[in-house]
Amino acid sequence: MNAPAPSPKISLRDVHRAFGAKVVLAGVDLDLAAGESLVIIGGSGTGKSVLLKCILGLLRPECGSIKIDGAEMVGIRAAERERVVRKIGMLFQGAALFDSLTVWENVAFGLVQAHGMSRRAARAVAATTLAKVGLGADVMELRPAALSGGMKKRVALARAIATRPEIIFFDEPTTGLDPIMGDVINDLVVSCVRDLGAAALSITHDMASARKIADRVAMLHGGKIIWSGPVAAIDHSDNPYVDQFIHGYAQGPIQMEVLAP
């Protein structure tokens, strides 16, 4: 396993979160180094999205420590948190586009609101960012309601990277895309890390995508990170959970709750 880098961008220690009686995160430890691309894998409903939301401060963990650039985020003042979270771009699993704004206004939102860019300049940036995700000028003026699922996802991706954040979270960037567009997006994620020098934390179920974009892979199961290591090591991890997951076997230590009739 990798030793944690000297000053990780994000560092989680013993993070716990439950919803009522349902324990979702039960002591997550995780480090994301600068310029690193980490992919989190794990079964559906294991709390991957919840983990990202805890880091962003959208959900409050019950206990544990979350540090971003060394600053403790648990219990921080709202105004301080706003300043730190500014470094992070987030692609939501469900896109979460603002449906009262047009596509380009969505992409330009962070530039105009947080960086004080003029609308005209932000529009130009939005156009080039949309081009990167394979969307042309013809969608710029559309409302999100007029887009297909995959197009929404790509607009949301463009919105997440438009401000060139230092840290980017991708919650299932390639779900709902055709294989070719999926690969374009994989390349885009890689280039965000390589060219912008961003640290990326991605969630995916798509192992081909994970192999392409990850420097390191971590597996979340039962509320904990049960394995993490360089992407090259996942095929001989000697971890039965990881083996079962990457090969997608129905038989193995991970019991899917399928209720037979």
Ligand X SMILES: Nc1ncnc2c1ncn2[C@@H]1O[C@H](COP(=O)(O)OP(=O)(O)OP(=O)(O)O)[C@@H](O)[C@H]1O
AA letter at 78: A
Q: Is residue 49 part of the contact set for Mg ion (CB under 5 A)?
A: yes
Q: Does 93 bind Mg ion (CB under 5 A)?
A: yes
Residue showing tokens 């699993």:
93
Residue 228 identity (one-letter amino acid): S
Write down the least CB distance from residue 44 to ligand X, Å: 3
Tokens of 173: 């960037």
First-to-final CA distance of the chain = 43
Give contact residues for other proteins (rule: CB under 8 A): 53, 56-58, 82, 85-86, 88-90, 92, 94, 96-100, 109-110, 113-114, 159-160, 163
- Select the binding partner of residue 9 from Mg ion, ligand X, other proteins, none (C-beta < 5 to 8 A, by kind): none
Q: Which does 178 bind (CB under 5 to 8 A by kind): Mg ion, ligand X, other proteins, none?
A: none
Binder of residue 89, out of ligand X, other proteins, Mg ion, none (CB less than 5 to 8 A by kind)? other proteins
Q: Which residue is nearest to ligand X (CB)?
A: 49
Nearer CB in complex with ligand X: 31/206: 206
Measured from each CB, the residue nearest to Mg ion is 49
CB of 59 to ligand X, least distance (A): 8
The least CB distance from residue 145 to other proteins, in Å, is 11
β 63-68/167-171 pair status: unpaired
Query: Cα–Cα–Cα angle for 52, 55, 56, nearest 5°?
Result: 90
- Of 91-99, 147-155, 190-198, 239-247, the segment contacting Mg ion by CB under 5 A is 91-99
89 versus 182: smaller Cβ distance to other proteins: 89
Nearer to other proteins, 160 or 185 (CB): 160
- Name the binder of 24 from other proteins, ligand X, Mg ion, none, CB < 5-8 A by kind: ligand X
Q: What share of the chain is helix, strand, coil (3-state, %, to 5)?
A: 40, 25, 40
Give min distance, CB of 56 to other proteins, in A: 6
Provide the β-strand partners of residue 41: 219
Q: Which residue's CB is nearer to ligand X, number 48 or number 216?
A: 48
Q: Please give the full DSSP string across 167-192, using - where no structure is assigned.
A: EEEEESTTTTS-HHHHHHHHHHHHHH
18, two tokens? 């439950």
Q: Where on the chain is the footprint of ligand X (CB under 6 A)?
A: 19, 24, 42, 44-50, 93
Q: Compute the distance between CA of residue 47 and CA of residue 66 in angstroms, rounded to an integer.
A: 16
Q: Name, in order, each residue with C-beta under 8 angstroms of 159's C-beta and a sequence gap of 6 or more.
A: 91, 97, 106, 107, 109, 110
Rank residues 58 and 71 by Cβ distance to other proteins and give the closer one. Answer: 58
Instruction: List, as own/partner pairs, every contact residues 189-192 make where C-beta atoms lie below 8 angstroms and the sequence separation is at least 24, other chains included.
Output: 189/37, 189/213, 190/37, 192/161, 192/168
Q: How far is the CB of 162 from other proteins (least distance, A)?
A: 9
Residues at the contact surface with Mg ion, assessed by CB under 5 A: 49, 93
